[in-house]
Amino acid sequence: MALRTNKELLDHAKANGYAVGAFNVNNLEQVIAVLETAEEEKAPVIIAITEGAIKYAGETFFFKAAPVMAADAKIPASVHLDHGGKFANIVKCVKGGFSSVMFDGSSLPFEENAGMTKKVVEVAHPVGISVEGEIGHVGGKEGGVDGGNDEILTDPAEAKRFAEETGVDSLAVAVGTVHGMRTQTAKLDLGRISAISSVVAVPLVLHGASGVPDEVFDEVIARGIHKINIGTELQKSFSTAMRQFAGDNPKIIDIRKLFRPAIDGMKESVRTKIRLFKSNGKAW
């Protein structure tokens, strides 16, 4: 199956009342975990990759192997740059096999954020790559993404203006989540999601969703969120399963035997989220 763009995935999600999971990965094993689970659940999926992940695993893997793995999957999948901050790095991803990119200018003044985001759109759209922007600011730290300690909730009027001026395909908004939360204690401003969705035509994106209580996802989807990012929870499940297995089997040195339990641990987290997002069975 050909690699999809986030625009294709999110437009379908918006039309059919669900959200697509954007799962942050850092290596081969985590890509395997996401794609295996998505195929088993028959769910469209987004492989989300930060600039920090590229620095860790290398451009060769993320620009060549990961896009081929996603394209070969039996479900619709995209390879997406998450929280792109440097224009040069975004251009590399545009040229390097990614099907979607994000420019995160949320810490910049409105005009500068909009101007840079529009510049990314002008580079990406002519070659069929979709673009995500962000207005408002989600704080916290996760996977090399440092949002600082301040959160600026998204203003609906600014969100409308930003989406129209930049031409983005999806829009990340700040409504109460924080990057890097290890407990599900985030308190979302659900009314704000509805207010933004009522004036913004493109699908909305929720970052930092590892901290969102499970029972809230139905509501955020109903109010207009159609891409949900999960990172911290996946790293936690992956590392916890590996530590447990290694502790129980101290004599094992075959890394394949060490990585498989970690993959399986992460898969269960991915599976849970796919079902909560109602994307299971939505592959086409």
Of 82, 104, 155, 169, which one is the catalytic site residue? 82
What pLDDT is stored for residue 147 in this prediction?
43
What pLDDT is stored for residue 61 in this prediction?
97
What pLDDT is stored for residue 79 in this prediction?
98
What pLDDT is stored for residue 44 in this prediction?
98
The residue ranges of every structural domain in the chain are: 6-276
Residues 77/45, Cβ–Cβ less than 8 Å: yes
Strands 170-173 vs 145-146: parallel, antiparallel or unpaired: unpaired
Q: Which CATH architecture has domain 6-276?
A: Alpha-Beta Barrel (3.20)
pTM of the model: 0.93
82 is catalytic: yes
Q: CA-to-CA distance for 118 and 161, rounded, in angstroms?
A: 12
Backbone dihedral angles phi then psi of residue 101, each to the nearest 5 degrees? -140, 155
How many Cβ atoms are within 10 Å of 131's Cβ, its own excluded? 28
What pLDDT is stored for residue 146 in this prediction?
42
What pLDDT is stored for residue 185 in this prediction?
59
Low-confidence residues of the chain, pLDDT below 50?
140-149, 180
What pLDDT is stored for residue 240 in this prediction?
98
Eight-state DSSP code of residue 215: G
What pLDDT is stored for residue 91 in this prediction?
97
Q: CA-to-CA distance for 247 and 251, rounded, in angstroms?
A: 9
Cβ neighbourhood burial of 141 (10 Å; 0-12, 13-18, 19+): middle
Q: CA-to-CA distance for 70 and 92, rounded, in angstroms?
A: 18
